[in-house]
Amino acid sequence: MSEHFDLIVLGAGSGGLAAAKRAASHGARVAIVEGDRVGGTCVIRGCVPKKLLVYGSAYAQLLADAPSYGWPVPPVQPDPATLLRHVRAEVDRLNQLHIGFLERAGVELVRGWGRFADAGTVIVSQADGAERELRAERVLIAVGGRPHRPAIPGADLGWVSDDLFLLESLPEAVVVVGGGFIACEFACILHGLGVKVTQLVRGDHLLRGFDREASLAVQEAMEEAGIEIRFAHSPSAITGQCAPGEYTVTTQSGEQIPCGGVLLATGRRPFLQGLNLEAAGVAVEGHRIPVDADQRTNVPSIYAVGDVTDRVNLTPVAVDEGRAFADSVFGQRPRQVNHELVAVAVFSQPELAAVGLSEEQAVARHGAGAIRVHRARFRPMSQALPARGPRALLKLVVETASDRVLGCHMVGDHAAEIIQMAAIAIGMGATKADFDRTMALHPSVAEEFVTMPN
């Protein structure tokens, strides 16, 4: 017998949770279907546990600098097993917290994996083999994405980012494959926890899509710290034995690199497997579900938000998409999400954060003669006494004719915290003159944004 709801949400990640709770607050009867833990990629195997590992790995540099500030710390060794255990405990706590949020919101959590029987019917396969049939006027697909493994022999021997959070200990040496933000973040985490890291990058630079000058600043800092980055290198095979943890990565040039583990940070794809989208008539474009500005698929009663749409794959975007959907459909407050100006960050060491156009994007859109660039590159005061460490980079990309700031970029400690505030100004259309009129807060790194000469 079918159970009837106003809304069925497939996936209890950031976007699905936000949509379900907001729709319920508007009076809708909502079921949310999840076969894994509640919280999705961000809470369970992404942003949150990763950032905790970033904090843990950063103590290597803090302890190294401590003697310069009068704290003669004796040599110590990291204990990654303890850190990993504590991170998993925090993830477990957050999982329970989100389950409680759903209960208080009046959303029914249906455990299991959902698939379409038709446009308004979802069959949920539960762990005990039983099935539940749910029906609703509207269905929201919010199942997120999954890491993608390259099609090479032995790819199953490598880790994806999800696997790192489940490790009990870390090997002495790891090969990281990839040049994107996940690869760079984990290369820095592993290095900070005492692991020898070799990073293989298929292209000629890190962090494709970010400002080239900023990505180069991150690269220089990573290499200075001791991470070996090899450009124009791709793996052709992985061999070894899982139990001993001894592997060999063979590159396309025939070079063999021994290691204790391989992290395949080679991209993510929407998680469409098992949804039976054909039964509902939902169109798929490549690996993603295309939607319009109202999050609607080609089927009028079916919507999608978050990474499954493969637009701007960030947690705050998925949350806003989910809430906009619920407000529009159930709250009689129609609105659409603006994907044009979204702040982004890479939690490498040092951090990279940005909002707006990179220098390359600005040139492509407006022409080289129509923009000017202001930058500051310096060693921050926090590194004055140790007299070492990476230099910070602060950069403004400005449209010459209007003086409007098109992009704001930073590489350095607390870059994400600083760019978050800059995003407000950029979103309001701030000009370079507006930045210049702002009184500096001294001494700080962020003051460089308002003291850059014209």
- Answer with the one of 250, 266, 282 that is the final residue of a domain: 266
Query: Tens digits of per-residue pLDDT, 263-290?
Result: 999 999 999 999 999 999 999 999 999 9
The answer on 372 and 238 residing in a single domain is no
Residue 249 reports pLDDT greater than 80: yes
Among 341, 322, 351, smallest CA distance to 410 is for 351
Task: Tell me, yes or no, whether 357 and 323 share the same domain.
Answer: no
Is residue 2 very low, low, confident or very high in pLDDT (cuts 50, 70, 90)?
confident
Whether residue 335 lies inside any domain: the answer is: no
| pLDDT of 245 higher than 80 | no
Active-site annotation, residues: 442
Could you tell me if residue 165 is inside a domain?
yes
- 279 in the same domain as 372: no
Task: Dump pLDDT digits (tens) for 121-172.
Answer: 999 999 999 999 999 999 999 999 999 999 999 999 999 999 999 999 999 9
Q: Are 215 and 235 in the same domain?
A: yes
pLDDT of residue 39: 96
Co-location of 136 and 283 in the same domain: yes
- Of 59, 42, 21, 23, give the one whose Cα is nearest residue 94: 42
If asked whether residues 355 and 259 sit together in one domain, one would say no
Structural domain containing residue 374: 350-450
341 part of a folded domain: no
Dihedral sign, CA of 288, 294, 297, 302? positive
User: Looking at residue 138, what is its pLDDT?
Assistant: 98
Examine the domain organization and report whether 316 and 357 are in the same domain.
no
- Contacts of residue 424, defined as CB under 8 A and 6 or more positions apart, other chains included, come to none
What whole-number distance in Å separates Cα of residue 58 and Cα of residue 60?
5
Structural domains in the chain (count): 3
- Which pLDDT belongs to residue 397? 98
The answer to whether residue 454 scores a pLDDT higher than 80 is: yes
Q: How many CB atoms lie within 10 A of CB 427?
A: 15
| The length of the chain, given as a count of residues | 454
pLDDT at 275: 98
Say which CATH number the domain at 41 has.
Answer: 3.50.50.60
* pLDDT band for position 311 (cuts 50, 70, 90): very high
- Side-chain-facing half-sphere of 284: CA atoms under 13 Å: 16
- Residue carrying structure tokens 């806003």: 320
Domain end among 266, 288, 311: 266
* Contact between 247 and 392 (Cβ < 8 Å): no
- Write out the two tokens for 294: 């109202």
- Of the candidates 79, 41, 42, the one whose C-alpha atom is nearest the C-alpha of residue 60 is 79
Distance of alpha carbon 388 from alpha carbon 384, whole angstroms: 8
* Residue 345: inside a domain: no
Is residue 306 situated within a structural domain?
yes
Which CATH number is 427's domain given? 3.30.390.30
For residue 338, is it within any domain?
no
Are 111 and 204 found together in one domain? no
Query: For 75, how many CA atoms within 13 A lie in the half-sphere containing its CB?
Result: 1
Q: Alpha carbon of 308 to those of 130, 202, 289: distances in Å?
A: 27, 25, 6
In a shared domain, residues 27 and 89: yes
The verdict on 414 and 377 lying in the same domain is yes
Q: Is the pLDDT of residue 388 over 80?
A: yes
The pLDDT, as a whole number, for residue 242 is 64
Q: Taking 70 as the threshold, does the pLDDT of residue 327 lie above it?
A: yes
Say if residues 67 and 41 touch (Cβ distance below 8 Å).
no
* pLDDT, tens only, 11-67: 999 999 999 999 999 999 999 999 999 999 999 999 999 999 999 999 999 999 999
Question: Domain check: are 262 and 167 in the same one?
Answer: yes
Same domain, 115 and 177: no
Average pLDDT, the chain: 96
Q: Which of 227, 246, 266 is the last residue of a domain?
A: 266
Q: Flag whether 342 is in a domain.
A: no
Mean per-residue pLDDT, 174-188: 98
Judge whether residue 231 has pLDDT over 90. yes
Convert the pLDDT of each residue in 396-452 to its tens digit.
Answer: 999 999 999 999 999 999 999 999 999 999 999 999 999 999 999 999 999 999 999
- pLDDT at residue 216 is higher than 80: yes
Pairwise CA distance, residues 325 & 322, whole Å = 5
Q: Which residues, 6 or more positions from 245, have their beta carbon under 8 angstroms from its beta carbon? A: 171, 260, 261
- Helices 80-105 and 47-65 pack at an angle, to 10 degrees, of 140
The answer to whether residue 340 is domain-embedded is: no
Q: What is the pTM of this model?
A: 0.96
